[in-house]
Structure 1
Amino acid sequence: MSGLVNALVIVAVVVLVVVRQFRARPLDTDRRWWAVPVILAFLALREPGILDAHHRTASALLLSAEVLIGLATGAGWAWTTRVWRESDGVVWTKSSKASVIVWVVGIGLRVGLFGLGVLIGVHQDSSALMLALAGTLLLRAGILAWRAQPLTARATEATAYGDTEVRPVWKEHV
């Protein structure tokens, strides 16, 4: 893909994810929460220009730093996201004001890395940003699914009064 198409994919994914995450929404841990990040990583890694051919070491170091910043942003975003269970047993999430700070710091660090690359003359492809975004989304989704496990376990299992056997809770859908 061209750099412009990569940039458009990155912007579209960021806008979609950020807008959705700052609204309260049910967390569905049964779905394939890892699919979008894996597709983004695949698209990023299949590009030949992810490393600068003339500055391989510096380019690899910048790419590594970019991915580490992406992972740190994903972890920070997941830990600053509020997770709760409603009375009907549905687990909900909503990003907090601290999540905005995590995003601003992450973007600032990425801009700083890009500036450093420009100063030392390393060509940086948009694939590096796409790979870091994949890491951000994958780690955030994984941590949220992990954080939601105790909440979903309580919602799916219950014992009747005097009953020692745990049975699934039947939920009526209207």
Structure 2
Amino acid sequence: MTTLTNLLVIAAVLVLVVRRQMRVQRLDSERRFWILPLILGALALRDPQIIDHQHAVLSGGLLAAGLVAVLAMGSVWGWTVRLWRAADGSVMLKGTKATVAAWIGMLAIRLGLYGIGGALHVHQSGSSLMLGMAVLLLVRSLVVNWRARALEPTPPTALLH
């Protein structure tokens, strides 16, 4: 895929994910939350330009730094989401102001890494951003699902009212 196509896919996923995160929604723990990250990751890894072969070490280092950053930010994002049990026992979630701050922080880190790569004349493929998005979404979903399992179950009497 071209860099423009990759960026459009990333932008569309970002808009979709952020909009959904800021609304109250039911957590479907049975949902296959790993499908979108798997698709994004597969698309990204198909790109032979994901590493700049003229600057392989620097390019690989920037890719690794970006992936470490999204691992951390995915965890932070997963912890900023508010979780609670509804009266029917289902788990509800909603993003908070801290969620927005986590997104802003992630964007700042990604822009910083992109700036470093540009200053070092390393070509950076949009596929590296797509791979980062895949890792970010997967880690966030893992954290949220793990936190949801730790929530206290709704007492049976609460369900009767």
TM-score (normalizing by structure 2): 0.93
Say which one has the larger Rg. Answer: 1
Paired position in structure 1 for 2:36:
36
In the TM superposition, what whole-angstrom CA distance separates every residue of 1:24-61 from its partner, at most 9, and x where no partner exists? Answer: 10000101011100110000001000000100000000
**Alpha-carbon RMSD:** 1.8
Which protein is richer in helix relative to its size?
Answer: 2
Partner of 2:27: 27
Task: Quote the residue 2:10 is aligned against.
Answer: 10
1:88-134 Cα shifts (integer Å, max 9, x gaps): 11100111101111111110011011010010110000010001111
Please give the residue correspondences for 1:71-90 in structure 2 after superposition, counting only pairs within 5 Å.
Answer: 71-90=71-90
Structure 2: 5+ residue runs without aligned partners?
Answer: none
Tell me the number of residue pairs that the alignment of Structure 1 and Structure 2 aligns.
Answer: 159
Measure the CA separation in 1 of the matches of 2:9 and 2:110.
17
* TM-score (normalizing by structure 1): 0.87
| Superposed displacement of residue 73, structure 1 | 1.4
Match of residue 165 from structure 1:
none
Give percent identity, aligned residues only. 46
* Amino acid paired to 1:104: I
1:93 alignment partner, SS class:
strand
Considering Cα pairs closer than 8 Å and 6+ residues apart, tell me whether 1 or 2 has the greater RCO.
2
Q: Where does 1:76-115 land on structure 2 (aligned, <5 Å)?
A: 76-115=76-115
CA distance in 2, matches of 1:130, 1:6: 7
Question: Unaligned regions of 5+ residues in structure 1, if any?
Answer: 161-174
